[in-house]
Amino acid sequence: MRGIIDLSVTQVILSYIFVVIVLFILKKRGIKREKEMLISSFRMTFQLILTGYVLVYIFKNPNPFITVALIIIMECFAIYTVFQKFKGKLTNKLKQVIAIAMVIGTISCLTYFLMIVIRIYPWYDPQYFIPIAGMMIGNSMTGISLAVKSLLEGMTLQKNVVEEAMILGASPKMATKGIINKTFDAAIMPTINSMLGMGIIFLPGMMTGQILSGTSPATAVNYQIAIMLGILGAVSLTVILLLQFGYRSFFNEEDQLIQ
């Protein structure tokens, strides 16, 4: 099997023709997105180049403190991103639940996956730890963002339904059960849909990267199956932790719905 074909700087620059094409379409259609397109392309390039140099150093000099520090940074950035997305809409109590759910959900699944499934040694091996943590944390961030959006909308649009249920004697947990179930479904559906189309409609990024680097397709398939199941677990656990405790942030200590 052939090894990976190295891309030169010139070859990478040639791929920016697609940005030019999109800019032309935006200009032609009068869609005012040229600035966002240029900024996003520049940021992506700069961030990935910087990340590449950092990872080269870390992979050559594995250190448990650096690995743990990177995971903490990734978790903090993911939580901050969720907070910024719903700026002004989250109570302090809900923010605490989001942070706790993200950390417990992702770290517990990551630990199980690396220690029990892959069984890496040493445990802080950055070659495995960092990319897999990135996939789990990134997907969990997306899942929890969808969950927060659905939960806020549900508690706002179905406020009367919740109040009526509580008047009839339902507890806050029972009154919000429908909203919570719908929110959980909305949060994990993108992951499930991704799994449904994987292998037939498209080849996922991790599997494609391994195959391009010369890894046997059979090995790449095994890794992709395992990581997708790990991502499903991380997203599901993170979201369910958010919902199990997050709904309480909409009620006071007397079980009254906060206006």
Residues whose CB is less than 8 angstroms from the CB of residue 257 and which lie 6 or more positions away in sequence, other chains included:
159, 162, 163, 166, 172, 250, 251
Residue 259's pLDDT band (boundaries 50, 70, 90)?
A: low
Rounded (5°) CA angle 145-192-102: 35
Q: Which residue has the tokens 């390039």?
A: 45
What digits encode the pLDDT tens for the residues 213-236? 777 888 888 888 999 999 999 999
Query: What is residue 79's predicted lDDT score, i.e. its pLDDT?
Result: 96
- pLDDT of the residue at 208: 75
Task: Decide: 86 and 153 in contact? Cβ < 8 Å.
Answer: no
Distance of alpha carbon 192 from alpha carbon 143, whole angstroms: 11
**Structure tokens belonging to residue 54:** 């950092």
Helix (H, G, I), strand (E, B) or coil at 250: helix
pLDDT value of position 1: 55
Give the single-character DSSP code of 115.
I
Q: pTM for this one?
A: 0.86
